[in-house]
Amino acid sequence: MAGEAPLIEFRKVTKIYGQGEAEVRALDGASFTIKTGEFVAIMGPSGSGKSTAMNLIGCLDRPSSGEYLFHGVPVASLDRNQRALLRRNYLGFVFQGYNLLARRSALENVELPLIYKGIGRAERKQRAFEALSKVGLKGREHHTPSELSGGQQQRVAIARALIANPDVILADEPTGNLDTKMSREIMQLLCDLNDNEGMTIIMVTHEEDMAEYAHRLIWMVDGKVERDGKPSGGGGKR
């Protein structure tokens, strides 16, 4: 998987939901490449296909047409199990709707990826505690999502995404429910992971402010990449 191939490459990727009258082109021939170590923000109007693109990048879904290469490997050629392994070993998700296990504590939610990596209980617990304290949730380890605020739930989701040290973190509006101060802290955390651990960060956001933390901004409209370049402020927040 080494070599010169970029980490992520979309070649004219189209994703169509529904059929006939109800057909929706969530992605419509989107092409871009993302290299290892980049911090990319994806912006665009609601319904422009950002989450759809994230799901495809995350190998949760497959394109209707076009090609998606991960480390140069066409994901379409991988079977269900190989895609699961790819998610397990390379990818960390922060979903738009958090997607936490409702009746599990924050700690149990965060340790989930490590269970499937086959890591022992003691180490799991310890790493989950660390991850939670990184996102500022020390002391909330045993609360269930319903006992946490929206922002806190979002941070649990972030802790879960980064706990397994993935190559890529896919964050769909990770600061959507956070106040400015917390948002900054989270962005700082993502920047640290990007700078110090070399993690590639791909983040969907609606806020120009947050996009300023990225190296690069992909602007999507109607399932197409409309603009791809430096954030308007030049990424000055780094």
Partner 1 sequence: MIWETIRLAVQAIFRNTMRSVLTVLGIVIGVAAVIAMVTVGEGSSSQVTADVEKLGTNIVMIMPGGMEQGPRTQSVAEAFKLKDVEAIIDQIGSVDTAAPYAQTSMTAIYGPESTTTQVVGTDNRYLDAVDWPLVMGRAFLNTEETSGRPVCIIGETVRQNLFGNTNPIGETIRLSSLTCEVVGLLEAKGASSFGTDQDDVVGLPIKTFQRRISGSSDVAMIFVAVQDGKSTDRVMGEIKALMRERRRISEGEEDDFTVMDMKQIAEMLSGITDVLTGLLSAVAAVSLLVGGIGIMNIMLVSVTERTREIGIRLAVGAQSSQVLMQFLVEAIVLSVIGGLIGIILGLVLAIFASNMMAIPFAPNPAVVGGAFLFSAVVGVVFGYFPARRAARLDPIEALRHQ
Ligand X SMILES: Nc1ncnc2c1ncn2[C@@H]1O[C@H](COP(=O)(O)OP(=O)(O)OP(=O)(O)O)[C@@H](O)[C@H]1O
Positions in the binding site for ligand X (CB under 6 A): 17-18, 24, 26, 44, 46-52, 96
Whether the CA torsion 151, 152, 153, 159 is positive or negative: it is positive
Is residue 117 a contact residue for partner 1 (CB under 8 A)? yes
In angstroms, give the least distance from the CB of 41 to ligand X: 13
Q: How many residues bind partner 1 (CB under 8 A)?
A: 26
**C-alpha to C-alpha distance for 67 and 58, rounded to whole angstroms:** 14
- Please pick, from the candidates 68, 70, 95, 213, the single residue that binds partner 1 as defined by CB under 8 A: 95
Name the residue nearer to ligand X (CB basis): 46 or 81: 46
Is residue 223 a contact residue for partner 1 (CB under 8 A)? no
**C-alpha to C-alpha distance for 180 and 172, rounded to whole angstroms:** 17
In angstroms, give the least distance from the CB of 2 to Mg ion: 32
Largest Cα separation within the chain, whole Å, is 54
Residues 6+ apart with CB under 8 A from 149: none
Residues 6+ apart with CB under 8 A from 179: 151
Over the window 130 to 159, marking each residue x when it contacts partner 1 by CB under 8 A and - when it does not, the resulting string is: ------------------------------
In angstroms, give the least distance from the CB of 61 to ligand X: 9
The footprint of Mg ion (CB under 5 A) covers 51, 96
**C-alpha to C-alpha distance for 58 and 133, rounded to whole angstroms:** 26
Nearest to 214 by CA among 197, 226, 232: 232
> Token digits for 125?
């617990």
Name the residue nearer to ligand X (CB basis): 27 or 107: 27
In angstroms, give the least distance from the CB of 30 to ligand X: 11
